[in-house]
Amino acid sequence: MAIDTEGRPRAGRRPPTGGAAAGSAVVALCVLLAGALLAGALSLLDSAVYARIGIPVPGLLARGVVPALRTVVELSGGVAVGSLLYAAFLTAPQPSGVLDVAGYRAVRRAGGYGLVAGVGSLLLAVAVASDLTGSAVPTLVGSGWWELAAALEEPLAWMLAGGGFLVAGAGGLIALRWRTTPALLAAAAAAVLPPAVVGQVATAGPHDWSADAQLLGALALAVVTGVVVSLRAEPGGPGPTERRRAAPVLVVGAAVLAGTTLVLLALLRGSGPLLGSPWNAAVLARLAALLVVGVAAALLWPRRPRAATGVALAGVLAATVLGVVAGRWVPPRFLERADTPVELLIGYQVPDPVSVGALVLDWRFNTLFGTAAVALAAAYVLGVRRLARRGDAWAPGRTAAWLAGCLLLLLMTSSGVGRYSPAVFSVHMISHMALNMLVPVLLAMGGPVTLALRALRPAGPGRPPGVREWIVGAMASPVLARLTHPLPVLALFAGSNFAFYLTDLFEVALRYHWGHQLMNLHFLLVGYLFFWPIIGVDHAPSRLPHVGRLAVLLAAMPFHAFFGVTLMSTATLLGGEFYRLLDLPWAGDLLADQRVGGGIAWATGELPMLLVVLVLLTRWSRDDAREAARHDRRADADGEADLAAYNAMLARLSGTERG
């Protein structure tokens, strides 16, 4: 069966019969329940988490509910994410853009499991709040529920996850066109993230590294789970195209999952024996399951893909259960010594005062942005090399701009600037202004979309859409056209500083690592959206003429100056409670440091804008020269036909007036 443009079946591979579909649903339900019961039972073996948070140990039933329910949510959410990825990237739609049979099944599967994950997440929010406070569920759900959820973080995270999964699930039940699958995939993937960045691993000790590792691992597990289930669910097994496309997705996902698990083990195992604690044993068992899955799947995949997916499915089930169990047990590192206030707040010690040497040499790698900088640079170089092998030219200046932008991104997030940024306001302002004003300019001048469209091969008719088709679809999206429209982008670019620093958002970004990372991402994306239509090499969906772009630039310049002056003149310490809790002995006058940060914002905001104006004026002059040259060539070719016609028109008008 396939689906026509009206959503009706058309000729093609037959779907499973009603009995087979019902049997598959029963098997899936049994797997979910078995995983939930196993996670709940294993979690009862260690109750140290309750002593650590200072509440009485609850009964066996209450202790088992949270891990059991979390296992159901993680498995269901993973199936939703991976199924949408399968529909968007591994299956070919019909020529009309409507989902074909495999994509239709995957999207509907994502819809059902997304709703299960959404409802389970909302139930889990209440169960986690009860578990963390030692209070009965009826006493929690009342007028103070929202305040309690926000204060505890984890219930709020599960509520956000529930909203995302419900949106993805509802959309999956009604979607018929391929172009809707990336948006649903984004909603489901976003729902995986909030629970991964909260909890004991993400809030104590070296939580800047452990939280990022947990976030990447949760996303990788969701992708691997859903793709394996989708491959397993195909009648007769996956086809050759699906197997070829799925292989790198599974390899990369499994590698990321194993790598992040190793990072957590290295950070939190403690100084005792490797098997000296239940947490260590659970993490090692998870690594063993992933290793067995990887080796078995690699050996079975070429000849027996269905057996390979069966082994992989058992492995991801074991990895999910063991991950949930490890999340309930206390890592040994937390029991060996108490964290200092600085470690609790930013994840690591900052013993030395700020100096030029410290900013240059005292590195602490930012897992998300450091990895992104390296990956973006490597992908760009590979694209340029592919063009060179074909004999196509690519401007060296674009390559230099892109690589400089990636290097600056790495420096601002992983060098001493990134290390001191959460602790010292003036250093934070250096990082912020570079991410908002310099890195986006360099990246926009690199022309990554143009390079990708030239370097990537089209998928071809009848084949699943590839990265090139995703980029083309995104560039034609009306949503992107609205996001790059000069007026809303100008308002966002000019107003973000005031909305962020003069409200409680800045305090949130300081207190939580996920808030700090989200702040960096926000300013980076806003800067790119602003500068892309102005000086970017890539064609923007909304692009003004040169005079309009200059007007937008000139309109934005006073806001940064005014923001810097505001910081320099205010007598209120921004993030004062956070900085006072840090209590760095060498910090000195915090308000004076804030005024220094205001001066940095003023100076570093004006200089990049002036450089952009110069670049824009240079391009304007160059474009006018090219247009004049084209006009001269056209005039030489047609013998000044346009000028002769214009003179003839004037002569006729003159004769008419005299008559």
- The arithmetic mean of pLDDT across residues 624-652, rounded, is 60
pLDDT, tens digit (0-9, with 9 covering 90-100), for 41-55: 777 777 767 766 666
Contacts of 58 (CB under 8 A, 6+ apart): 50, 131, 134
Q: At residue 468, does pLDDT exceed 90?
A: no
The CA distance from 600 to 160, in Å, is: 36
pLDDT band for position 633 (cuts 50, 70, 90):
low
pLDDT at position 364: 92
Q: Say yes or no to pLDDT of 430 above 50.
A: yes
Question: pLDDT tens, 164-205?
Answer: 999 999 999 999 888 889 889 999 999 999 999 887 777 777
Q: Rounded to an integer, what distance in angstroms lies between the CA atom of residue 534 and that of residue 552?
A: 9
Phi, psi of 10, deg, nearest 5:
-135, 175
pLDDT of residue 527: 92
Comparing 507 with 627, the larger pLDDT belongs to 507
CA 631 – CA 622 distance, rounded (Å): 14
What average pLDDT score do residues 572-587 get? 87
The helix (H) or strand (E) run that includes residue 10 is strand 9-10
Q: In the predicted model, what is the mean pLDDT of residues 297-316?
A: 77
User: Which spans in 175-270 are helix H?
Assistant: 181-196, 207-233, 240-268
Label residue 451 by pLDDT band (50, 70, 90): very high
What is the Cα–Cα distance from 93 to 10, expressed in whole angstroms? 13
Query: For 108-124, what is each residue's pLDDT tens digit?
Result: 999 999 999 999 999 99
The span from the CA of 593 to the CA of 570, in Å, is 12
For the stretch 515-526, what's the b/e string if a residue is b when 16 or more beta carbons lie within 10 angstroms of its beta carbon? bbbbbbebbbeb
Confidence of residue 534 (pLDDT cuts 50, 70, 90): confident
Residues 311 and 643: their CA atoms lie apart, in Å, by 77
**What DSSP string runs through 201-227?**
TTTSSSHHHHHHHHHHHHHHHHHHHHH
Q: Give the model's pLDDT for residue 442.
A: 93
3-state SS of 428-472? HHHHHHHHHHHHHHHHHHHCHHHHHHHHCCCCCCCCCCCHHHHHH
- 2 falls in which pLDDT band (50, 70, 90)? very low
Looking at residue 3, what is its pLDDT?
Answer: 44
At 646, the pLDDT band (50, 70, 90 cuts) reads low
**Two tokens, residue 358:** 């410290």
**Residues 610-619 pLDDT 10s:** 788 888 888 7
- Please tell me the predicted confidence (pLDDT) of residue 429: 93
Query: Which tops the pLDDT comparison, 254 or 658?
Result: 254
User: Hey, which residues does 2 pair with through a beta bridge?
Assistant: 10
Mean pLDDT over residues 85-99, rounded? 85
Tell me what the mean pLDDT of segment 361-385 comes to. Answer: 94
Work out the pLDDT band at 371, boundaries 50, 70, 90: very high
- Give mean pLDDT, residues 605-629: 74
The predicted structure's pLDDT at residue 10 = 44
**Residues 506-522, mean pLDDT to the nearest whole number:** 90
pLDDT at 21 (0 to 100)? 52
CB under 8 Å to 165, separation ≥6 — which residues?
76, 77, 80, 114, 115, 117, 118, 121, 188, 191
Instruction: Give every CB contact of residue 464 below 8 A, 6+ residues apart in sequence.
Output: 89, 90, 91, 92, 241, 242, 245
Res 304 pLDDT > 70: yes
The pTM of the full predicted model, rounded to 2 decimals, is: 0.86
pLDDT at 138: 61
The pLDDT value given to residue 139: 64
- Judge whether residue 298 has pLDDT over 80: no
Q: What is the pLDDT of residues 225-238, one digit of tens each?
A: 988 888 888 776 66
Domain ranges of the chain: 2-339, 344-633
Closest of 139, 152, 102 to residue 2, by C-alpha: 102
Top mean pLDDT of 319-328, 363-372, 465-474, 569-578 is at: 363-372
> CA nearest 334: which of 287, 260, 280, 257?
280
Q: How confident is the model at residue 1 (pLDDT cuts 50, 70, 90)?
A: very low
Q: What is the mean pLDDT of residues 529-535?
A: 88
637 — pLDDT class (breaks 50, 70, 90): low
Quote the CA–CA distance of 325 and 323 in Å, as a whole number. 5
Residue 336 exposure: Cα atoms within 13 Å on the Cβ side: 13
Lowest mean pLDDT among 219-223, 406-410, 489-493, 545-549: 545-549
pLDDT of residue 625: 65
Per-residue confidence at 5, pLDDT binned at 50, 70, 90? very low
Residue 106's nearest CA partner among 23, 205, 188 is 188
Residue 430 to residue 407: CA distance in whole angstroms? 15
